[in-house]
Structure 1
């Protein structure tokens, strides 16, 4: 006997127990329907069999009469006589088979349906009545007023009586369920065994063809005997447990969360979550989510086809959402879209986030080798990357070609696998898919991963990637690799070795050169002539004179050089200014100075040594590296700082942020970039002027257009029904300005300087 339900579970009366009962009741109902259908089919077969036998007898009589007619021919007479006799024997056996079938199948199955299933239904009705009585008693007990003791005692006594009756009925019902499950097997097997024996007798003439079934029949008979013995023994044990448990008082209720990240079914996680819709109403719906086959899917009902939220977990990341009004929210972000979800508790939220992160790591670890090269894969997906017209459609392919053309970028920065088609946009390096998954697990504060073939690339990002590269970054992050003799992983190294290397390299920074004691030198200061010239240039709206920007051919090898030596190898101070001593600068000051010079390797070196990307130079009006990069109109330098966490709204002592400075100097491309990165166009400086006012006063039509479009887009997004149209227009215009700022900056410069104030 197979135990379907446990007695302890029924005393809890948990949702799991109710669900199990519903499943059993459904199975019994389905069994009853099928047995009734089988009995009807058996009746039809028996009636048809009787008609067949009657017709067959007439046929046999015809053969005999033909045999008597042909008796003069001994060959034909003997053949017909013998054949008719054999057919008569077969028909007699078939009539016996029909009678045996009627006894074994029809009568016994009808008895099982009418007696056993009926008794099961009666016990179920008693259980349901007791359940309703208990529910009513619980309600009256809850409503009994505190001050009326007699009503409290009556309600308590009624609840006690109802609970005893319910528990007794529940235990009886569970016993009946287990008994009918066992009896169902024995009865059906017994019917089948009887039918097989009748069939064996019927097919005596074809015994050779039934030899294999004969062995099976014997085996099935043995199994039936064992089942009968085991059923009797288990029934006796259950009756003893039934009597013992019935004496206990089980009133507790345990709520156990079902978390199993290593399930053998391949489902890393499953359970209910609230999902926010992507429509204008932002409604929340409760759905059953699961992580399976490296995909995040959900469904409303069990038999529904699951809806795929994330096609490939390798292309997504997960993060908590604390800004939501609802609690326990987290977001699964992929290149195409993001999905905002809500758990029922903090424990569930952490469990789901951990499951997604583990699934991402597993997806990278278990991936199969891709037969296509990155360029072939780029060509195959170019048809589906149709975002924003022809230029954007192939942006991933163009990014792949331009970025891989940089020296050192043809191989993965960390394991040297050839043909990398992933990149870390804040580090400026190319990666293979395995290393990109490890970088993604570090978090965006260490590495921001993007596909060179699957994602669309903004032109300023491509310019940034082309300013750095694997060779320049490895000179920083692997400067001491030869000294400490740590073996760098190769393409076929295990994922664990690659992960250990990447964490040591970028998180622990074990291989960079240690700087001397810093932070004691005074902040960077400009000479008085330099300060006066800068003030005049800012007032006039002209671009300040710059020191020569080092090109890629003259970039120094950073290994073993101090910041001062790095600067001296790439720039020389003008004759009218004193030479700056950078040897004592801490990383923040070094980042500030290199942002002015647009020296990307030195900026990366400063960040690697712990520079605060929002470092403030108190000696120069509290300006930041981002403001300095904006002052010299370096689109790529600003993008590099923003990708590494620079605050686009941090203002100097005059209350002017990067957007203010870009607007004053007429750097249209930078205005476009800052607006896309969330700059506040309403922020006012100490003169109570916001960027729009400054742009209008300077008659810079392009910047006025950008600022007003950004403002209008925000207003449209806040209005129902206009968000989509506003977003499309906004994206189209800003995309055009970004392309022009990156590829034809002289056009923007000409437009800005040619417009005169009225």
Structure 2
């Protein structure tokens, strides 16, 4: 009974703990929490009383009765054993005495004496045995009644304690009962109201989805908007999965399940844009595009799609306001602008950080103010246009789409060296002379920094998308007469005795000229001349068989070449302002010159030997894998010419190094034949990285850190220390 009672107390304690947990889970309901807490406390007291009861039972019954059994009954059993032994001896004496013959007097006397002694001992032991029986009987009555009396008193105390405890709880129980009666009445009323609403909803017409989803940028929990959206996976199957999305803390995140940690889609909403998607089969789709990836999403209706797009756009503007001041404070703490590129001995971390990009880009003429509204100290840039922008104008540029403008932060993003040089080759003054050439003629007033956003947006769209202010007449770019040939670098340098005239000669600042001279080819230094000469010598083995191909003939059919042809010519001449002007006049970036083996401007840029020219074309949508009639793409030509920096750039931009030309040679085999160790290293590393990603199923991933570090080092050398990559060309030149 005691063991079972203790098990009962243990089960009661578990039940009481469950009630306490239920009270904690009901913390938002004061009535439930208070009632359950009071009940659990009462049950805990009852469990304590039960434990006291079983302790008293242990002492009153178990302990006392065990003493009675182990001591008193043991003595009785010992007396009984002696009595039974003497009784047996007496029986034996009687039997022996009866068996003695009368004629044996000696045996008769001995048997008589034994019988007498045995009877005497029997009477004595029997007397002790009877005494033990009487004592045990008397004590048994007292012990049993004493134990039971103690047991009953223990129960009396237990029930008195329980009665007192529940007497104190009874008023609360009666009050709760009255509240429950009222709750029942309220629940019945609420049920009737809900049934009526349910009936009304069932009668509603759902033919058109009129669901409204509100967003609040000032929400207390930081969640601007949340709800279910379909997300297209980035795998090869492009499957669609329904996920719970939310906009919070200037990020777009989603969860597969409620308790899962959120997966971040966009780290910083300032670096993304959102647009409708009407070119896929599914309806109500929109796309969130960031500098590193894009996410295709689908809402349940058109109204929901519009609500999500508006919420993302509003959050982008809010993110600008919240973090703009913080970024400006951090930037003001940075060191003054030096106006020149850092030396190659500095660490690559310092070369890539945004502070350095801001200093370099802002020193270009016109870049100290926003290109579109004139606001001072711009912190954003359009990398394909080569201009600087303020926060508000950069947001408008994002809405145009990446095919018009690719926006990047000068302080928050890392900058590749070739991008920095690209920005330094152009600038706000150059681009505005192209895209605002007719601004005064058409009578349009350029917006100021304090103008309304709608006014700025209309102006920027007219300027870059519709190109209303671009001069439609013949370009000011000096072009060759029809039938003349554009010579390769080796012959071009012999023909020109002085520096080539630029579109804006004399108008660029000294800092811009200093940056441009290292890569534009306007007036090459001694090292640049050696590089062009060595490139020509190393390419002879593959280009001599092409005859006039080395001289790059371009025949013009009219005095005003097409924009595509002008882009093609400017790419070879390394003239980025002319290239930007050709694109503004509608040049197709992948224009094909049918008169020269279907070469593209990107291939011409490779032949011209300029890394920045190639980067400019790639940023404006040039296809790195378009090949000429001989099956050679830009990567082939860069490998033949020994342009290590261009090879590195094309591999980073996804060039196909497995493509073969009409001779069945891929870039790697060409580099091996030319014994160009740097290019062979880059090609083999890229191929090994590609194979590793395919074997591990990491499609679309950039590669491991070692691979990225090596390519980053080559990019740094190609942009800041090109002489380090000229070892192969110089050695070949010396041999020649």
Q: 1:40 to 1:297 in 2, by over 3 A?
A: same
Task: Give the equivalent residue in structure 1 for 2:371.
Answer: 413
Match of 1:110 among 172, 177, 195: 177
Matched, 1:392 2:345: no
Contact 1:374 1:420 in 2 (8 A): no
Change (3 A) 1:725 1:305: closer
User: CA–CA distance in 1 between the matches of 2:283 and 2:712?
Assistant: 36
Paired residue for 1:607?
583
Distance 2:230 2:201 in 1: 40
Match of 1:372 among 302, 322, 328: 328
Q: How far is the alpha carbon of 1:454 from its aligned partner?
A: 1.2
Q: 2:458: which partner in 1?
A: 500
Shift of 1:310: 3.8
State whether structure 2 residue 35 is matched by structure 1 residue 36: yes
CA deviation after TM superposition for structure 1 residue 316, in Å? 2.1
Matched residue, 2:705: 728
Could you tell me which runs of 5 or more consecutive residues in structure 1 were left unpaired when the two chains were aligned: 1-25, 45-100, 121-175, 182-234, 381-388, 559-569, 572-576
C-alpha separation in 2, matches of 1:549 and 1:644: 28
Task: Give 1:298 deviation, angstroms.
Answer: 4.0
Structure 2 vs 1, CA of residues 324 and 579 (structure 1 numbering), >3 Å: closer, same or farther? closer
Shift in alpha-carbon separation, 1:731–1:368, aligned structure 2, 3 A? closer
Alignment correspondent of 1:598: 574
Larger Rg: 2
Provide TM-score, normalisation by structure 2.
0.60
Alignment of 1:592-671 (within 5 A): 592-671=568-647
Measure the CA separation in 1 of the matches of 2:409 and 2:574: 26
Residues in 1 aligned to 2:655 and 2:261: alpha-carbon distance in whole angstroms:
43
- Aligned partners of 2:201 and 2:577: how far apart in 1? 75
Flag the 1:631–1:289 CA change in 2: closer, same or farther, 3 A.
Answer: same
The residue aligned with 1:296 is 252
2:227 counterpart SS class = strand
Once the two structures are TM-superposed, the CA of residue 681 in structure 1 deviates from its matched residue by 0.5
Q: Report what 1:476 is aligned to.
A: 434
User: Could you tell me whether the CA contact under 8 Å between 2:385 and 2:405 is conserved in 1?
Assistant: yes
Structure 1 residues 375 and 34, CA gap change in structure 2 (3 angstroms)? closer
Matched, 1:749 2:726: yes
Deviation at 1:397, TM superposition (A): 1.9
1:428 is displaced (CA, Å) by: 0.5
Query: Could you tell me how far 1:106 is from its partner in structure 2?
Result: 5.5
Is the CA contact (8 Å cut-off) linking 2:209 and 2:301 kept in structure 1? no
The 1-side partners of 2:396 and 2:438 are apart by: 22
The answer for the alignment partner of 1:260 in structure 2 is 213
1:200-248 deviations in Å (ceiling 9; x for gaps) = xxxxxxxxxxxxxxxxxxxxxxxxxxxxxxxxxxx8xx69x96x99899
Residue 422 of structure 2 aligns with which residue? 464
Q: Report deviation, 1:37.
A: 4.1
> 1:476·1:513 contact (CA, 8 Å) conserved in 2?
yes
Q: How has the CA–CA distance of structure 1 residues 446 and 324 changed in structure 2, closer, same or farther, with 3 Å as cutoff? A: closer
The count of residues paired between Structure 1 and Structure 2 equals 528
- With over 3 angstroms needed to count, the CA separation of the structure-2 counterparts of 1:326 and 1:677, relative to structure 1, is farther
| 1:717 shift after superposition | 0.8
SS at match of 2:726: helix
Q: What is the aligned partner in structure 2 of residue 315 from structure 1?
A: 271
**C-alpha separation between the residues in 1 aligned to 2:504 and 2:208?**
67
Q: Is the 8 A contact 2:563 2:583 kept in 1?
A: yes
Cα distance change of structure 1 residues 406 and 707 upon mapping to structure 2, 3 Å threshold: same
- What is the CA distance between 1:472 and its match in structure 2? 0.8
Matches of 1:741 and 1:504, distance apart in 2: 37
Distance in structure 1 (CA, Å) of the matches to 2:301 and 2:464: 30
List alignment gaps of at least 5 residues for structure 2: 1-24, 44-167, 337-345, 509-521, 524-552
Residues 549 and 598 in structure 1, CA contact (< 8 A), matched pair in contact too: no
What is aligned with 2:518?
A: none
Task: Indicate how the Cα distance of structure 1 residues 586 and 749 shifts in structure 2: closer, same or farther if over 3 A, else same.
Answer: same
Equivalent in the alignment of 2:380: 422
Following superposition, the deviation at residue 35 of structure 1 comes to 5.9
CA distance in 1, matches of 2:271, 2:687: 32
The equivalent residue for 2:92 is none
Distance 2:651 2:378 in 1: 32
Deviation at 1:451, TM superposition (A): 1.0
Contact 2:254/2:263, CA 8 A, preserved across alignment: yes
